[in-house]
Amino acid sequence: MRPIHTEVVDSFTIKIYPDEDAENPFKEMDLLGTIYHYHSRYVLGTYKTLDELKEMEQSKDYISLPLYLLDHSGLRVSTSDFNDQWDSGQVGIIAVHIDKALKEFGRQFRKKAVACLKSEVEIFDQYLSGQIYGYVITDKNGNDIDNGSCWGHYGLEYCLKCAKEALPDETHYYLEEKAS
């Protein structure tokens, strides 16, 4: 597989690749919210009927945001409408029980929970649209350096930032190994 981004820093090369083994963040991470949906073709989270979702949205026991799906040349999700009458629409909600939000955030829990739920949908969108990456750091001869790779970064810019932050430590370690 070819890297989607390559950058030379000092005498080392950072190569960024798509993470083809990325796991669903709602299965692998301890996230605050739960996605509830009524879409018949995709498993986006926990299936609920439309009536059950309306009941949850109106309940004072939950903090919820709408979940919109865009199904056109791939899947995208958002808490905001995509404004595409043909390929998008609301398919569910992301919600957290009020007790869980209060325990997690304490004061101003509602505002913090809403921000967290929006962020979790953005993470899920990156997962669905294949925007999860890993990096490999190589020396000037093209050899992978020990501990010079990491995977599971959401967003290309974030992956590159992490690689650059890891580079000085890895460079120092690598040069010490070569000297001994």
Domain boundaries, the chain: 5-22+132-179, 25-128
User: pLDDT tens digit string along 124-155?
Assistant: 999 999 999 999 999 888 888 877 899 999 99
Q: What is the mean pLDDT of residues 5-10?
A: 92
pLDDT value at position 156? Answer: 94
pLDDT value at position 176? Answer: 60
pLDDT value at position 165? Answer: 86
Q: Is 29 exposed, middle or buried (0-12, 13-18, 19+ CB in 10 A)?
A: exposed
Q: Of 23, 11, 24, which is closest to residue 148 (Cα–Cα)?
A: 11
Neighbours of 95 (CB within 10 A): 28
User: pLDDT tens digit string along 47-97?
Assistant: 999 999 999 999 999 999 999 999 988 899 999 999 988 999 999 999 999
